[in-house]
Structure 1
């Protein structure tokens, strides 16, 4: 039986646009270098392809500086795709741009109509449930509307809370396998992962929490040696990808693809 939570045959990515220098950020820690970001993005796409997956590479969107972060626009499940409703007003138009691509690969595409908001970065799909973190970008009404859609498809949803000052739920956690979560200590302390095996990021390496398990590989941001060693010792095959430029826009490994 395939494991639909981390075994994928396809992914959708979008090349960074030159306008990415104007992307949203919680705090200004530098302007992204487009050339470096393009190189890192190419490494990311090549790593996904290395697993045998097909990667649908969409063109840059100059009108949407954050368009490279495709994960926030949709939730892809085996039964269908759900278009999100971003909490950042400047990102609303990205959803329509993604709809065309999703309709080419999914027979059933639904949409969060609002008034609530929800972004894919707040959604962690595990073998047993879909965890949705309330955050500055995802509100109660958005979560409720998602629940009404996925209930049709037999999924259960559990609402959790993203720590204050953390942009998205998955900024602080990721799925490593059917039973194992990589999490910061601050997020695990909330009790949201009871019943799972949890591996914590090393002290001072909280930014390593946003990784992705993609088939046999774990893609993680480079520069977090103790967390990488922990994952290696736990038996995971880690590929480190430079994330210096995406990090300036609060972005990470999961943000850069839709996986299905």
Structure 2
């Protein structure tokens, strides 16, 4: 299971729906431009494919404005997948839409089903040794406990942590750069939840740069954060900057746009 948290053969994405202009947002910073979002999304997919990965592009779901953010619907692990139970009522149906695609790829697909359980995978950071899950407005203690019970037979360890107040998802403020290193905002790293890991802090005022993805040998990061970019380059990472202005209007980032996994022969 070496490098299981950042080396992948496959990714699942979903085309942005025209209904995305009605997507959820914590703060209204303007209506997303669908054409520009589509262009950014195409660049994102091209960057994934350039690493050698197979990218599965699912059709848009107009009934679910936020469905481009596929990461929230499931957690993909080496031994199987778990479909989530989103904490936003308008997103509850998205996990069911994703399930058949995962069942075609995995022999074992479990699901969060407790009526009191809520969990979105934007709150889940998988590392080489553990699965960190942040309590947030979208993920509760019951959801975390249910996930821990479901993945324990696969030898996975879940550790509950806390998302800072006012931050939508745990991974809004952090991302994995390699087996030992996490990129994080100071407000999150100050909680002590990353003890034992090497930390790189995003630059002050560039908190939105914290959500990147390490995908094989490349780190995909949102464009427009030069000081954080320079820090990552200085640390030796191979970067690809992707436009994210429109997804950012809906609290979306690099990790939100794909499910990443390794297909077993």
TM-score normalized with structure 2 length = 0.97
Aligned to 1:118: 119
1:168 Cα deviation after fit:
0.1
Pairing 1:216–2:230 present: no
Pairing 1:152–2:188 present: no
Pairing 1:17-166 to 2, within 5 Å after superposition: 17-114=17-114, 115-166=116-167
Kindly provide the CA deviation profile for residues 36-84 of structure 1, in whole angstroms up to 9, marking residues without a partner as x: 0000000000000000000000000000000000000000000000000
Aligned to 2:243: 242
Distance 1:52 1:128 in 2: 25
Distance 2:94 2:193 in 1: 30
Aligned to 2:187: 186
The secondary structure found in structure 1 opposite 2:29 is: coil
Distance 1:57 1:15 in 2: 7
Distance 2:158 2:147 in 1: 9
1:2 Cα deviation after fit:
4.4
Distance 1:14 1:71 in 2: 10
Q: Which runs of 5+ in 1 are unaligned?
A: none
Aligned to 2:198: 197
The secondary structure found in structure 1 opposite 2:63 is: coil
Kindly provide the CA deviation profile for residues 139-165 of structure 1, in whole angstroms up to 9, marking residues without a partner as x: 000000000011111011110000000
Distance 1:108 1:229 in 2: 41
Kindly provide the CA deviation profile for residues 196-218 of structure 1, in whole angstroms up to 9, marking residues without a partner as x: 00000001000000000000100
Distance 1:212 1:41 in 2: 14
Distance 1:2 1:46 in 2: 26
| RMSD over aligned Cα atoms | 0.6
Aligned to 2:12: 12
Displaced runs of 4+ in structure 1, greater than 2 A?
A: none
Distance 2:3 2:206 in 1: 29
Distance 1:156 1:109 in 2: 18
Distance 2:207 2:95 in 1: 29
Kindly provide the CA deviation profile for residues 8-43 of structure 1, in whole angstroms up to 9, marking residues without a partner as x: 000000000000000000010000000000000000
Distance 1:7 1:200 in 2: 23
Kindly provide the CA deviation profile for residues 168-197 of structure 1, in whole angstroms up to 9, marking residues without a partner as x: 000000000000000000000000000000
TM-score normalized with structure 1 length = 0.99
Do 2:2 and 2:128's aligned partners in 1 also have CA atoms closer than 8 Å? Answer: no
Distance 1:8 1:154 in 2: 20
Kindly provide the CA deviation profile for residues 117-156 of structure 1, in whole angstroms up to 9, marking residues without a partner as x: 0000000000111000000000000000000011111011
Q: How many residues align?
A: 260
Kindly provide the CA deviation profile for residues 208-258 of structure 1, in whole angstroms up to 9, marking residues without a partner as x: 000000001000000000000000010100100010000000000000000
